[in-house]
Structure formats: C-alpha cells, structure tokens
Chain A
Amino acid sequence: MPAHQHWPSTRISLLAGVENTNSQSSWNDLVAIYAPLVFRFAMRKGLSAEDAEEVAQDVLVKITRFHYEPEKGKFRSWLARVTARQIRDQMQKNVNQKRISGSDDFELSNSPSITMGEWEEIYFGRILQIAIRNIRNEFEQAEWNVWEAGQSARDVDLRDLAKSLGKSIGWVYKVRHSINQRLRSELVRLGEDMPVQ
C-alpha cells in the first residue's frame, strides 16, 4: 500500500491512529516509515542485522505503547531517545549472553553515545526517502536519473548525461529544480518538522 495515500498530517495522529482505533493501516504506516530508520541507525551503531531488526521491532512496539506527548519535545528527539535506549538494552543483552556462555570479551562492549547530529542525518534521510517515494510517479525515470546523478556524485558529468539523453544542459537543471520544488512541498506536507528552506 503506498504510504502517501494514508499519510496523516502529522506523525502524532499516526500514533493516535494505532492507539485509539487499533488500526492496522496506521500500524503499517508507522512500520513503513520508522522501522527502516531505526534498523539503519542500529546497524550504524554496530549491531548485527539480526539485533538491529529486534531493536526496530521493540522500538515500534514502544512508540505505540508509550504516549508520545509533544511536551516531551520533538518527536524525532523522543524517537532518538527510545531508539538509543533500546540499542543499549540490546547491547547489554548481548553482554549478558556472553557472560553466561563464559566468554570473556564482554568488557569490549560499549554503550552507544548518540549525537543528535548523526541521528538527524539518518532521520531526515529516511523522511526524504519517503517523500521521494510518494512523488516518484509524478516524474519520468529519466528525470529521476538526472536528478539523482546531480545529487549523488560530483563525478557525473551532467553535460555528457544531457547529451546522451539528447537534451540540453539547461534541461537538466530545470528537471533538478522542478523535482526539488515538488520535494519541498511534499516535505512540508509530511510535516516531519524538517527544516525546509
């Protein structure tokens, strides 16, 4: 199910949807948006894919069980806290496991210190992915290719790219611009307190 058809105006209503109506679709949306995000972050912090999946599941369960209250601060900060704690718990669990199994390298385990900066990069990266997914059908694949080439690497020669497509270099920049504009409005609609300029 494409998430954008069901995306409520804020993630708070998304959470409310799960809490109040036991709504399966709210839960699906929540999972679709945040599970990969938490997973990615847990991997980044050095957990195995298996553990990272576990963490993602636990965090998702937590954010539906616990009430997020705006007075607790920004949603993304709250999610960061919940995630950080879950990662720490998971690491602790691994340490305990090793202890039980007699391994003596458990001292090496560290608790992750998380800076908001690195969390926000991953968080907003995920939101951008969602925004792109939502507007993907509005542009041609060739246009996306141009846009992506422009963002992902300096090495891609946009002139060559334009030539290979039989287009002018001006067209390339126009495409970039119109996708950017559309992306901006989608980010605003998603309302993920993303600092859109």
Chain B
Amino acid sequence: MTSSTPGRNGGECPTERQLSEYIDGKSAKAFSDQLELHLLDCNGCCSRLAQLTDMERVSPHGFSELKQNGLEESAIESRLVERLAKCNPMVSPSVDGKVDRDVSWFFSLIGKPTTTEIQDLDFSSVRIAERYRLTKLLSDSMFSLVFEAVDESLNRKVVIKLPSPKVPDYGRRVAEEAKLVSELEHPNIVPILDIGNWRNQIFLVYKFIDGETLSSLIQHGGAIDVELAIEIVEAIASALQRAHERGVFHRDIKPANIMLDQNGNPVLIDFGLAVRNENLEQEKNFIAGTLPYMSPEQISGTTLSTDGRTDIYSLGAVLYELVSGQRPFSASSRDDLRAMIFDRPARPLRQLNASLPSAIEKICATCLQKDPAARFGSAAELLDALVAFRKQNQTGVEENPIVAFRDETQSFAVVPRENLRLSNPAPERSSEKFQKASASASLLVWGFGSALSLTIAGLVWYSGFFSNRAEGEIANSKSSIVAEAPSSTGLGSVEHFIYLLQADGQGRTRREAVELLCESTGELVIIDVAFESGPSGRWTADELKRIRESQPGRKILAYLSLGEAEDYRSYWKSEWDADSDGSPDEAAPDFLCDVNEDWEGNYRVKYWDAEWKEIVFAEVERIVEQGFDGVFLDRVDAYEEQEELESGDYESDRINPETKQSFRKDMLDLVFSLGGRARSRRPEFLIVPQNGSQLLDDDNYLELIDAIALEELFFYEDEPTDSEDQKRILKYVSRLDANKPVLLVEYVKGSLAKACREKAHQLGYPLLITNAELDRLDTVE
C-alpha cells in the first residue's frame, strides 16, 4: 500500500494520511499491526494521533463546559427536569377571562359598608385629596374606577381614575405610565393634569373632555361617514405614532377609548393599560384588553411580540367598525370569539358594504393581519396610507382605483394602480451620459426614476417612496432639488470613532446601551439601525438625539449592507430559505444568492437587481426618517467576488452579463442613486462606504462620499497583509480630500494591536481596534 511502512520499534513514522486512514479503519491489517507496534515506542506519533482525534476538531465550543459538568446532568438538574415537565404552561389556564368586578376596595376606601352595588352608592360627599369632589361614576372594571369630578380649587370638571389595588402591581404601573403619558403632549391624546396618593390609593386626574365616545356615537347611529372615519383614525394614528416613538403602547384601543370633543377633535383616552417598551417582558402574565379589539398576539399573552403593531391591529378594528357598523369578529362566547381572532380572516369590508372604497378595505385588512409582520410596520405607515387615500379622494383621481399595497421593501405606498409598474426603478442611464461635469444633475434625475422628463407618474412613484412629501411640493421643489450638489465637503476631522453593531451584546438593556454610547468617546458613531431586531428595536429619534448631543459635533451613521441580505432584517421573508440550508428556496427573489459562510445569516445578493435596490432605498428612507446623520455602507466591495475568475485570478472591471457594464459600475450606480435619493431629502446626509477602495478611481464617487472605512488594512486573521496590497489601497484613498477621513478598523489583540496603533499613527488615520462581532465598546481606542 505504501513504501513507507513503519518499521518495528523506532522505524519510520507514518504520513498524516496513513494515520488518518488508520483511525478511519481503512488501513490494511498488516499495516495496522505494524503501526500499533510502532506506537508502543513513538511518543511523537501518539501525540499526532491525539491531535487528530481531539474533540476540538469536532466543534470548538462546549468541551471545557462538558469537562466541568461531566457527560451527564447532575441529580439536581434531573429532578428539575422531572418537576418542570409537570407544569406545561400551555395546559394551565391563563389569567384572562376572569371578569372580576370586585370593587369592595372602593367601599372601604371611602369608609362605607359593602351593602349596595357601586352604581347605587352615594359618593357625593367624597373629596379626594381635599380637592376633587366625585360627581359621577363613568366606568367600572376589574382594573379601575373612573369618575367625573369637580376640581374645587380651579372650579373645573376633571376625570379621576382610581386603579384597583386588587390587581397586583397595577397602581404602581399606572402611575409610572401616567408620568410618561404626561410627556407625550399630543393634541389627540388626553392630557393628564395631576397624579397623587390619597389614603394610600393612587389617583390620576385627566382633563375632562366634553364630548362623546366613538362607541356611543356608533351605538346610536351605526356606521359613520367614511371621510369622518378616516379623519378620526388618522388623528389617532398620529397620536399612536407619537406614543410609539416614545416607546409607549396603548394596548386598549377601542371606540370607548376614543372621544370626539365639542370641536369634533378626536382624543385618545385611557392609557391605563399602556406599557413601556422596556417593561414588556415583565408583563408575562398580564393579559388585558378588550377582546373584540385585541390582536391574536395580545390574547395569547405573547407579550414580547406585543408592540406597536398590536395597537395598529386594534385601530384597524376600530376603523372597520366605524365604516361598517360591525366589528371584524363577533361570536356568542368569548372562547368562540378568541378562536375566530386566531384563525379566521375578518370578512372583507366590501362584502358588508359594496360602496366602500377598496383602499379602505385594503387598509383594514392590512391592519387586521394575524401576523404582526404583515401589518403596517408602524403607526406612521398606517398614517401615510390614510393620508394618501384622503388626498387621492380629495383630488378626485378616482378613475384609477387606489390600492394600498405592501411591496417587497415592506414600506407602504398608496398609488393609483396604473402607476404600480413604476415602483420598479426606471431603466439605467448609460454610462457615457454620466460625465463628470453633469454629475450632479444626472444623479438627481436618476434619483427620480425615469430619464429627464419628470412625468406625473414618476412623481407619484416618488412620493410613494418618500411618502411624507405631498406631490405638489415635489413638483414645486423640482428645480431646487436638481440644483443641489450631491458631492460633499466631507466629514471633517475624526480622531476617534465607534463602530458597534450589536449594542445588545453582553445582555445590555437598551438604556444601558444608550448611556454607554453617550459616554464613549468618538466624533463619529457607527451603529446598527436598531438596538435589537424586531419591530420596535429601531433606535428612536430621541435616543439618537441623546447619543448625538452627548458630545459636541458628533455624527451618527446607520449601518447598511449593500452586498448582502441579512436574514434578521424586516425585509427578509422566512420562505426565502425556509430550510435554512443557506441556499435560496424557490420562493426567494431573483437577487438572492447563497449564504456567506463566514457570516451566518448573511446572503450574497445580485446588488444590481431592481428588487434589491428597492429594498436598499426603502432602508435608506427609513434611516433618513429615523434621524441618522448618514449611512455607513458595508459590502460595497461585493463586486470583488464577482470579479473573481474560476482560476482564482481577478479581472478588474469584469463585465456583468446581466447589465452589460462592469460589476464595479453596478455598485457605483447603486451608491450614486441611494446617495442622490437621500440627499434630495437631506442635502447634508453623510455617505461613508467601507472597503472597496478601488471605486475611488471614479471621480464622482470621490466627490460623493464623506469618508471611507478600511477593515483589516494591516492584519487579516492575525497575519500581516501583503504590503503591496496595502500600498495600493493607500494610494487609492490618498485621492480623497483631506476633509474626508480614512477610518481604520482592525480586529486584533495584544501586540498586533500595538503594531496597528503605530502604523495608524504614522499614517495619521484614526484607528479602531475591536472584535469581529462588533458587540463591545471596551476595546475602543
């Protein structure tokens, strides 16, 4: 089998391959016998075998733990398993459904015997905190009693709410949330006037709204006029937008909690069940709400997934009822109703009333989706759809039926159906047109979508993209937008910067992360768009403001990958790779390619694909909206993989057969158009790409960007990089204006870190040494 047969006692040592074959049981018997003899004496070969059969070769993790804990679980752990197996929570009943109207606590509070029903109780002599005289019981529930009262100091009517002390912890929660609501200050949210403690009972004082609740309105008159309904729901959506931005969820949106005051102004009342974002997970057993308006996730008590979209569901149910006079679901028992909310789609509105506009049906249906991810992603999105509907209605473009649709980018647009095709970007301009002299103009025109003529259709599409602009405004501002220069004067000097993608790393809370970011030094902060994935994970404008204002002149960039789709983003759909094998499934869009083996969950994309571009543009739009100062573009170097030939060599400027221009040009186009779009919204918007320094060959790119980041310039996986490569890259970046910094990022430790610092110092570039997961700040230079 081989010439190098191991000799007896100290003979020649076997090759690596022979050893592998031996442990695999593939060696011939004679060879095995001889090898075993050889092993008796040869410690070297024994260690080689030990290495070959080391468990680290199976998996690098978990073994030290196994050594500590042994192969079996401990007795206490086994008992724990046995005990817990008996308490399956899905089999035990939840707390909801218990309608406990025990209000005896109120009787003892005011010192009366519990002899009558509360409705018959005489409380006219009760003055709370020597100031508020109760006059009328407005509502009683297991959670609270609400009274009309007179504020005797100011001689005005108010509403007093007493949270039930019988509901554990409720009073404290209500008080906490009241403080928060008091900061919301929105014309469509009832103002809170006072909060106090009387005889150990917390009470809240709200402004008295002289008007009617929607529930009494529809009780008396049935369905209301569509336009009025839209105006009401729009106002409430706007109130919710404010609340959600501050991380407050109402959780009990229903007609009885919406009032129309004397001027017809809709007011959202009763934040009694409201809860703050960060408290959601503490609410595990707290299932509350009003069943017919409760979302499936709210009923099931999966509080982690209860977020702003739960309020959107409920508001959709309200809209449904306002325009049809019927609730989306009704049943004779709570159990049946619950089952319907879980399983059945609501009846399409137009089956109830065929004269209703199809857009309203669509909007309701979107709100009432069982899966929160299929609803409007935020109150702002719902608001946009409603506003767009109303505007279309007013301008009477009713010839084209209006549809609200959820496009691939998950952002909403409401456009006349015939213009839908324009939600794809227009054909690409030819590269010859893109002369340096006309760079700014072409960029912006391209940003609008189609050639030089700004057709009405193009404008409508554009307004769908940046939906908060009215069409007229866009038409009027056309010339001024085109006149804006897309080039930038640069970021200015940067000495320190922060690059943190996983702010929730190490189990940090959101607040801690913000504080940490505020305290860390750096004129530039690069963070992910969100603290954590999930609907309410995105940083709020307030948080960004805090982080920005913690240090003078600080800018914040949002991370965005151009060359890879990330499976934890909101645009990602599970059916794209349902079996998680790393290859796109049949349902996946054309742009999706195989996963990047180095980063689980990151899939390569055809970045020139129109559909992918739409996703990117929608992301940029959200980033602009969110209040970031700019965007940090990762994987602009994705073209490099495309330039790699089968031989392993690279072909610069390799042509993409799908676009007939180079892969680099495809990337440049993507960056140009997203830059043009963002800067037409905010001219000072920063654009900072990472790597891909060859693109600096392009003068327009050079002008467009504000800085560049370079990863692993000095070391790659703890090995020094090729010095020729370094030189080449440094030559490219030397083309940048002095005002456009070069940010170095190295993933090293110890002595290599020291070496990096020296090299960076020589070059005069700011350097960040961090870990590849980008989940910590403590290694910030």
Bound pair (A, B): yes
Residues of A within 8 A of B (CB): 10, 18-19, 22, 24, 27-28, 31-32, 35-36, 39-40, 49, 53, 56-58, 60-62, 64-67, 69-74, 80-82, 84-85, 89, 112-116, 120-129, 132-133, 144, 148, 150-153, 158-159, 168-171, 173-174, 176-178, 180, 183-184, 187, 193-197
Contacts of A58 in B (CB 8 A): 284
Contacts of A39 in B (CB 8 A): 76-77, 80
Chain A CB count within 10 A is highest, among B61, B569, B601, for B61
Residue contact A71 to B534, C-beta cutoff 8 Å = yes
Contacts of B508 in A (CB 8 A): 113
Residue contact A73 to B568, C-beta cutoff 8 Å = yes
**Other-chain residue from B32, B504, B570, B601 in contact with A81 (beta carbon distance below 8 A):** B504
B85: Cβ under 8 A from any A Cβ: yes
Return B340 CB to nearest CB of chain A, in Å.
17
Return B300 CB to nearest CB of chain A, in Å.
8
Given A148-B71, A177-B23, 19 other A-B contacts at CB below 8 A? Answer: A18-B90, A28-B85, A32-B81, A35-B84, A61-B89, A70-B568, A121-B61, A123-B62, A124-B62, A128-B59, A128-B62, A151-B66, A153-B67, A168-B39, A170-B32, A178-B23, A183-B55, A184-B58, A194-B61
Known: A71-B572, A89-B282. A65 touches B89 (CB 8 A): yes
Residues of B within 8 A of A (CB): 22-25, 32, 35-36, 39-40, 46, 49-50, 52-53, 55, 57-69, 71-74, 76-78, 80-81, 84-85, 87-91, 281-282, 284, 297, 300-305, 504-508, 532-534, 567-570, 572, 574, 580, 600-601, 773, 775
Known: A36-B77, A71-B534, A151-B66. A168 touches B568 (CB 8 A): no
Contacts of A183 in B (CB 8 A): 55, 58
Return B50 CB to nearest CB of chain A, in Å.
7
Residue contact A67 to B568, C-beta cutoff 8 Å = no
Residue contact A113 to B53, C-beta cutoff 8 Å = no
Return A186 CB to nearest CB of chain B, in Å.
10
Residue contact A66 to B66, C-beta cutoff 8 Å = no
Residue contact A128 to B66, C-beta cutoff 8 Å = yes
In the bound complex, CA of A113 to CA of B77 (Å)? 24
Known: A36-B80, A70-B574, A129-B71. A193 touches B600 (CB 8 A): yes
Can you spell out 19 A-B residue pairs with CB atoms less than 8 angstroms apart? A32-B81, A70-B574, A71-B570, A114-B507, A122-B65, A124-B62, A125-B63, A126-B62, A126-B65, A128-B63, A169-B36, A170-B36, A177-B24, A177-B53, A183-B55, A184-B59, A195-B59, A195-B61, A197-B58
Residue contact B58 to A71, C-beta cutoff 8 Å = no
Contacts of A10 in B (CB 8 A): 580
Return A97 CB to nearest CB of chain B, in Å.
15
**Other-chain residue from A81, A132, A193 in contact with B507 (beta carbon distance below 8 A):** A81
The residue of chain A having its C-beta at the shortest distance from the C-beta of B40 within the complex is A169
Residue contact B506 to A113, C-beta cutoff 8 Å = yes
Chain A CB count within 10 A is highest, among B90, B506, B569, for B90
In the bound complex, CA of A70 to CA of B9 (Å)? 57
The residue of chain B having its C-beta at the shortest distance from the C-beta of A68 within the complex is B304
Residue contact B58 to A125, C-beta cutoff 8 Å = no
Residue contact A22 to B88, C-beta cutoff 8 Å = yes
Return A55 CB to nearest CB of chain B, in Å.
11
Chain A CB count within 10 A is highest, among B53, B87, B504, B773, for B53
Residue contact A65 to B61, C-beta cutoff 8 Å = no
The residue of chain A having its C-beta at the shortest distance from the C-beta of B569 within the complex is A71
Residue contact A40 to B23, C-beta cutoff 8 Å = no
Contacts of A123 in B (CB 8 A): 62
Return B59 CB to nearest CB of chain A, in Å.
5
**Other-chain residue from B80, B507, B580, B773 in contact with A35 (beta carbon distance below 8 A):** B80
Residue contact A169 to B39, C-beta cutoff 8 Å = yes
Residue contact A18 to B64, C-beta cutoff 8 Å = no
In the bound complex, CA of A151 to CA of B53 (Å)? 10
**Other-chain residue from B46, B55, B85, B281 in contact with A151 (beta carbon distance below 8 A):** B55
**Other-chain residue from B55, B60, B69 in contact with A195 (beta carbon distance below 8 A):** B60
Chain A interface, DSSP helix/strand/loop, else mixed: helix
Return A142 CB to nearest CB of chain B, in Å.
14
Chain A CB count within 10 A is highest, among B57, B304, B507, for B507
Known: A168-B36, A169-B40, A194-B62. A66 touches B305 (CB 8 A): yes
Chain A CB count within 10 A is highest, among B35, B303, B304, for B304
**Other-chain residue from B53, B59, B80 in contact with A124 (beta carbon distance below 8 A):** B59
Residue contact A197 to B90, C-beta cutoff 8 Å = no
Return A89 CB to nearest CB of chain B, in Å.
7
Residue contact B59 to A196, C-beta cutoff 8 Å = yes
Known: A89-B282, A170-B35. A65 touches B301 (CB 8 A): yes
In the bound complex, CA of A94 to CA of B532 (Å)? 28
**Other-chain residue from B73, B85, B297 in contact with A36 (beta carbon distance below 8 A):** B73
In the bound complex, CA of A132 to CA of B570 (Å)? 37
The residue of chain B having its C-beta at the shortest distance from the C-beta of A182 within the complex is B58
Residue contact A70 to B567, C-beta cutoff 8 Å = yes
Residue contact A180 to B65, C-beta cutoff 8 Å = no
Residue contact A40 to B282, C-beta cutoff 8 Å = no
Residue contact B58 to A187, C-beta cutoff 8 Å = yes
Contacts of B506 in A (CB 8 A): 113-116
In the bound complex, CA of A169 to CA of B25 (Å)? 14
Chain A CB count within 10 A is highest, among B32, B40, B89, for B89
Contacts of B87 in A (CB 8 A): 57
Contacts of A84 in B (CB 8 A): 507
**Other-chain residue from A27, A35, A168, A174 in contact with B25 (beta carbon distance below 8 A):** A174
Known: A35-B81, A36-B81, A60-B84. A173 touches B59 (CB 8 A): no
Residue contact B66 to A125, C-beta cutoff 8 Å = yes
Return A133 CB to nearest CB of chain B, in Å.
7
The residue of chain A having its C-beta at the shortest distance from the C-beta of B56 within the complex is A197
In the bound complex, CA of A18 to CA of B284 (Å)? 17
Residue contact B52 to A177, C-beta cutoff 8 Å = yes
Contacts of B300 in A (CB 8 A): 65
Return B256 CB to nearest CB of chain A, in Å.
28
Contacts of A115 in B (CB 8 A): 506
Return B537 CB to nearest CB of chain A, in Å.
9
Contacts of A72 in B (CB 8 A): 532-534, 568
Return B466 CB to nearest CB of chain A, in Å.
25
In the bound complex, CA of A65 to CA of B569 (Å)? 23
The residue of chain A having its C-beta at the shortest distance from the C-beta of B38 within the complex is A170
Return B262 CB to nearest CB of chain A, in Å.
44
Known: A27-B88, A61-B284, A71-B569. A144 touches B71 (CB 8 A): yes
In the bound complex, CA of A197 to CA of B302 (Å)? 37
The residue of chain B having its C-beta at the shortest distance from the C-beta of A154 within the complex is B50
List 6 A-B pairs, minimum CB-CB distance, nearest first: A125-B65, A124-B62, A84-B507, A66-B304, A36-B77, A124-B61
Residue contact B775 to A116, C-beta cutoff 8 Å = yes
Residue contact A40 to B507, C-beta cutoff 8 Å = no
Contacts of B601 in A (CB 8 A): 74
